[in-house]
């Protein structure tokens, strides 16, 4: 079994991914600048952008699952573009060291304003610093991996919920508001439709992708179903017994948020099916 190095393993997504890998008895090692989430997981602390011997410290892995990214929920944070070249340099250096298969976490926000279902050929028009940086990394790595004959997988993530104590999404904000004793929650119109996926299901999909090397390129990790934000949030409030009432229309919808956008799950459905055969 190939050895997998997982970066960003202490993050919101990463912590769930390595727990799923552990459950499946995969051969992997996890890393992050802090590893407090990773009790019982084989891991080491490092700064990906400043240390030279990560490949050796990880035990010469064959596969890289790159989940590391800072402030992903803050779409116009200055660090997205400032650190873009660091991500590219780290990944290409790992390839030069001997990695033959890379899998990187992307985002549906790369698409930008779009209405309808997204597949791997949907044109990208990113409209935030986060989306621009992710899209540029994907395009650069596609070229580099093709030149080097390296397997390239780009996981396009959608809207995540679950374990929201550690997240920074609207669901985390709902949990915090409830904890603070608030009874109302300022909200948008809630009419936009998105593709929601639980963090546990996303982790299982990511692990299924990186375990195989037959289905590659852009892979949507998603539910494949559009659900209105209002319906999803109302369901969430009920499911988690939150004492909150939504105050609709308190905030305007973001100009780059699409009226309805969801993922084509053809690839991930096939991967999941084959992983269970």
Q: Which among 46, 40, 5 has a CA at the least distance from the CA of 22?
A: 40
pLDDT at residue 37, rounded to an integer = 77
Distance of alpha carbon 53 from alpha carbon 34, whole angstroms: 17
Residue 138 zone, left/alpha/beta (φ > 0; ψ -120 to 50; rest): alpha
CA dihedral 109, 113, 118, 124 (to 10 degrees): -70
The mean pLDDT value for 246-251 works out to 93
The mean pLDDT value for 16-43 works out to 92
77 Cβ contact list (under 8 Å, min separation 6): 70, 71, 129, 130
Distance of alpha carbon 187 from alpha carbon 246, whole angstroms: 6
Distance of alpha carbon 195 from alpha carbon 260, whole angstroms: 9
Pick the catalytic residue: 130, 159, 161, 236? 130
63-66 and 43-45 strand pairing: unpaired
pLDDT at residue 276, rounded to an integer = 60
Say whether pLDDT at 275 is over 60. yes
pLDDT at residue 36, rounded to an integer = 80
B/e letters for 118-135, b = 16+ CB within 10 Å, e = fewer, are beeebebebbbbbbbbbb
Instruction: For the chain, list the domains and their CATH numbers.
Output: 4-160+196-223+265-275 (3.40.50.720)
Say whether pLDDT at 186 is over 70. yes
Say whether pLDDT at 274 is over 90. no
What pairs with residue 59 in β-bridges? none
The mean pLDDT value for 6-17 works out to 95
248 Cβ contact list (under 8 Å, min separation 6): 187, 188, 189, 190, 230
193-198 and 245-247 strand pairing: unpaired
Say whether pLDDT at 277 is over 80. no
Active site residue 248: no
Whether 194 and 158 have beta carbons less than 8 Å apart is answered as yes
Q: pLDDT by residue (tens digit) across 144-176? A: 999 999 999 999 999 999 987 777 788 999 999
Distance of alpha carbon 190 from alpha carbon 104, whole angstroms: 31
* Longest Cα–Cα distance in the chain: 56
């Amino acid at each position: 079994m190939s050895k997998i190095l997982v970066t960003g393993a202490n993050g919101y997504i990463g912590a769930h991914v390595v727990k799923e890998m552990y459950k499946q008895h995969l051969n992997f090692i996890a890393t992050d600048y802090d590893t407090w989430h990773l009790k019982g997981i084989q891991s080491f602390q490092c700064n990906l952008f400043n240390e030279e011997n990560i490949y050796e410290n990880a035990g010469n892995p064959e596969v890289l699952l790159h989940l590391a990214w800072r402030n992903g929920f803050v779409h116009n944070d200055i660090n997205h573009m400032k650190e873009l070249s660091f991500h590219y340099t780290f990944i290409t250096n790992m390839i030069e060291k001997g990695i033959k298969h890379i899998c990187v976490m992307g985002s549906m926000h790369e698409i930008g304003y779009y209405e309808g279902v997204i597949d791997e050929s949907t044109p990208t028009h990113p409209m935030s610093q986060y989306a621009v940086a992710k899209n540029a990394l994907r395009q650069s790595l596609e070229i580099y991996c093709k030149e080097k004959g390296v397997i390239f997988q780009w996981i396009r993530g959608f809207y995540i919920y679950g374990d929201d104590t550690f997240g920074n999404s609207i669901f985390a904000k709902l949990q915090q508001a409830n904890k603070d004793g608030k009874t109302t929650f300022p909200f948008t119109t809630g009419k936009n439709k998105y593709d929601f996926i639980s963090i546990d299901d996303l982790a299982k999909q990511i692990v299924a992708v990186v375990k195989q090397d037959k289905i590659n390129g852009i892979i949507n990790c998603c539910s494949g179903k559009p659900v209105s934000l209002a319906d999803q949030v109302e369901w969430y409030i009920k499911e988690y017994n939150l004492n909150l009432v939504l105050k609709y229309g308190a905030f305007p919808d973001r100009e780059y948020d699409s009226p309805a956008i969801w993922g084509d799950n053809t690839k991930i459905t096939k991967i999941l099916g084959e992983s269970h055969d």
